């Protein structure tokens, strides 16, 4: 195969990538042509689409993570999963050296139409990032997948199989290697990447031991004799028929202070079908396998790869309706607890502590966060910032703080601690409170989510952290007019990151009003863009 003329004679290309490496990339990429007519892009937390069209994408991400490993001189993670999507979908996520999400500057390329153009993009990328292709570090990637049937075949596009000598994604970068860690949850792989880069053992055993020991430390904060330590220890968990249910069966053996019953563990049901955090959070009803006998018992739902979590309580005398504890409510509880513990540390009389060097705490939310949770955080005096919807935006902003907290309503939730803060905290552990308060679930305004099927979601363009529609013209004015009709009304729309759907978020003083507002705005979107179908 001949190189494009713009590549063939450049000294810069030859200096960065030798002939052997270029030939391997051309040969390998010829076996993974991109699907005709498909538009794939790196969305909120990675790629996601029907599994049948993803092999070329996984191959290219394999190249990217190998290069990322060379650039950072660290282990990188690649997870095959489509999270809360239906079982026929799949996708890929990348874990950076710290265990966090891939930095936005490295979001991968997918639109090269053929091997030559792909090689050109890779060479330009290597040159731009000054990636050492022939250093002592040859690149290492940890791989995992969830329980989707398509996961195994997609892994073949990412790594070199023992039964095959043809290079695939990772192995097409000379010297790079991949280690398959097994069928895991997404949080497990992120933890393993971070642990590996810190020289810590990375097996499932170590993961479960750390989780269980951390849980015991939290339980020990509850005063002896407190009735709260001995009641409500029953927890029902909806495993979404995914990998989370399987892993919880192993973990719960170590959680002696909690009586966990796992349902929807994948033995009979379909992944994410009528179950899981996304279903429970959006529909506000019990998942399959839950009902009237569960009234009064704490319940929780995971999603397909166990990186979402919501709690709920089954309401008595209802048709499956629930009292939902979503990410907004959990965020407020975490922020309250952390704020109180920091107050204890800051008030401690320690002449060696610089009182002016206060810990910087930030809560990162999207415009779709419940307004009452935002009001509650303001009362605590915690710094708040807003980003566009998507974990990658929230995570990157949260990393700027000593303690960064972000919980999306859908159950994506993280508390980040900077390395400097952790080092400081190690010397102050004994001063933390040995008591816990009876934390409550704050009473929030009612809200409602709706969606509208459209011809092309990219026709809707938003600004100001997705709170204002700038195109098509006239949509925002119509939304404003409708919202003004409702007490404490708030309403936003935004295009989905994965499908041709426009999501509608509405909030008002009552649940009924919120649902009415959402339906009204959904009809407006339908008039401007839709097919005439919304839910």
Beta strands in 367-440 (DSSP E): 383-387, 403-407, 413-417
Assigned superfamily of 446-534? Alpha-D-phosphohexomutase, C-terminal domain (3.30.310.50)
Say how many residues make up the chain: 535
Q: Which two tokens stand for residue 439?
A: 């934390």
Kindly report, residue by residue over 346-398, the tens digit of the pLDDT.
776 454 445 556 789 999 998 888 887 887 788 778 889 999 887 878 888 99
The class level of CATH for 5-198 reads: alpha beta
Q: Name the stretches of the chain with pLDDT < 50.
A: 1-15, 161-163, 227, 229-230, 349, 351-353, 442, 533
Alpha helix (H) ranges present in 198-287?
Answer: 204-220, 243-251, 277-283
Question: Under a CB-based contact definition with an 8 Å cutoff, are residues 188 and 149 in contact?
Answer: no
The string over 423-448, giving b where at least 16 C-beta atoms fall within 10 Å of a residue's C-beta and e elsewhere, is eebeeeeebeeeebeeeeebebbbbb
Nearest to 126 by CA among 58, 42, 46, 64: 64
Give the phi and the psi of residue 127 in degrees, each rounded to 5: -65, -45
pLDDT, position 362: 93
Tell me the pairing of strands 309-314 and 361-366. unpaired
CATH entry, 207-319, from 3.30.390.50, 3.40.1190.20, 3.90.1150.10, 3.40.120.10:
3.40.120.10
Catalytic: which of 29, 56, 69, 83? 83
pLDDT, position 285: 94
Question: Under a CB-based contact definition with an 8 Å cutoff, are residues 412 and 347 in contact?
Answer: no
Can you tell me the distance from the alpha carbon of 187 to that of 195, in angstroms, rounded to the nearest whole number?
Answer: 12
The class level of CATH for 328-431 reads: alpha beta
Can you tell me the distance from the alpha carbon of 444 to that of 128, in angstroms, rounded to the nearest whole number?
Answer: 48
Q: Name the strand (E) or helix (H) holding 90.
A: strand 89-95
Q: Name the strand (E) or helix (H) holding 341.
A: helix 327-347
Can you tell me the distance from the alpha carbon of 192 to that of 198, in angstroms, rounded to the nearest whole number?
Answer: 10
pLDDT, position 103: 73
| Fold equal for 5-198 and 446-534 | no
Which residues have a Cβ under 8 Å from the Cβ of 125 and sit 6 or more positions away?
67, 109, 131
pLDDT, position 166: 58
For residue 463, the number of C-alpha atoms closer than 13 Å in the C-beta half-sphere is 5
Hey, where are the domains in the chain?
A: 5-198, 207-319, 328-431, 446-534
Can you tell me the distance from the alpha carbon of 454 to that of 444, in angstroms, rounded to the nearest whole number?
Answer: 31
Q: Is the peptide bond before 472 cis (omega within 30 degrees of 0)?
A: yes
pLDDT, position 58: 92
Residue 83 designated active-site: yes
Handedness of CA 179, 180, 186, 187 (dihedral sign): negative
pLDDT, position 424: 86
């Amino acid at each position: 195969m001949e190189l494009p003329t713009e590549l063939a004679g450049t000294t810069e290309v030859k200096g960065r990538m030798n002939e052997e490496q270029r030939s391997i990339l051309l040969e390998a990429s010829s076996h993974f042509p991109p699907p005709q007519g498909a538009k794939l892009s790196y969305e909120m937390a990675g790629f996601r689409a029907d599994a049948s069209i993803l092999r070329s994408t996984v191959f290219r991400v394999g190249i990217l993570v190998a290069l990322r490993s060379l650039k950072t001189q660290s282990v990188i993670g690649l997870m095959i999963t489509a999270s809360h999507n239906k079982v026929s979908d799949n996708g890929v996520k990348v874990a950076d050296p710290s265990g966090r999400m891939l930095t936005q500057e490295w979001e991968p390329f997918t639109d090269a139409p053929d091997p030559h153009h792909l090689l050109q993009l890779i060479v330009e990328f290597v040159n731009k990032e000054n990636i050492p292709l022939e250093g002592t570090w040859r690149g290492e990637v940890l791989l995992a997948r969830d329980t989707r049937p398509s996961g195994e075949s997609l892994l073949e596009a990412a790594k070199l199989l023992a039964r095959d000598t043809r290079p695939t994604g990772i192995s097409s970068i000379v010297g790079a290697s991949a280690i398959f860690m097994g069928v895991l949850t997404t949080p497990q792989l992120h933890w393993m990447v971070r642990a590996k880069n810190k020289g810590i053992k990375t097996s499932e055993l170590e993961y479960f031991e750390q989780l269980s020991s951390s849980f015991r430390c939290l339980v020990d904060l509850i005063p002896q004799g407190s009735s709260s330590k001995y009641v409500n220890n029953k927890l029902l968990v909806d495993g979404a028929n995914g990998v989370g249910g399987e892993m919880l069966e192993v973990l719960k053996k170590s959680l002696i202070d909690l009586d966990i019953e796992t349902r929807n563990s994948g033995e009979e049901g379909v992944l994410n079908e009528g179950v899981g955090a996304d279903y429970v959070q959006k529909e506000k009803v019990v998942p399959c396998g839950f009902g009237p006998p569960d009234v009064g018992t704490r319940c929780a739902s995971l999603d397909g790869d166990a990186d979402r979590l919501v709690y709920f309580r089954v309401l008595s005398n209802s048709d499956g309706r629930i009292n939902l504890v979503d990410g907004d409510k959990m965020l407020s509880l975490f922020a309250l607890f952390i704020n109180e513990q920091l107050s204890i540390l800051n008030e401690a009389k320690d002449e060696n502590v610089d009182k002016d060097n206060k810990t910087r705490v930030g809560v990162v939310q999207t415009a779709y966060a419940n307004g009452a949770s935002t009001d509650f955080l303001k009362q605590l005096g915690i710094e708040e910032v807003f980003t566009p919807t998507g974990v990658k935006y929230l995570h990157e902003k949260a990393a700027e703080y000593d303690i960064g907290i972000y919980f999306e309503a859908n159950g994506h939730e993280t508390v980040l601690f900077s390395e400097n803060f952790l080092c400081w905290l190690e010397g102050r552990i004994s001063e933390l409170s040995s008591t816990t308060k009876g934390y409550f679930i704050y009473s929030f305004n009612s809200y409602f989510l709706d969606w509208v099927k459209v011809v092309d979601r990219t026709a809707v363009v938003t600004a100001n952290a997705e709170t204002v529609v700038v195109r098509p013209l006239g949509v925002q004015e119509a939304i404003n007019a409708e919202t003004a009709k409702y007490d404490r009304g708030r309403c936003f729309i935004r295009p989905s990151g994965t499908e041709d759907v426009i999501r509608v978020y509405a909030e008002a003083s009552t649940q009924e009003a919120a649902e009415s507002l959402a339906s009204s705005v959904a009809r407006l979107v339908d008039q401007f863009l839709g097919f005439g179908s919304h839910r």
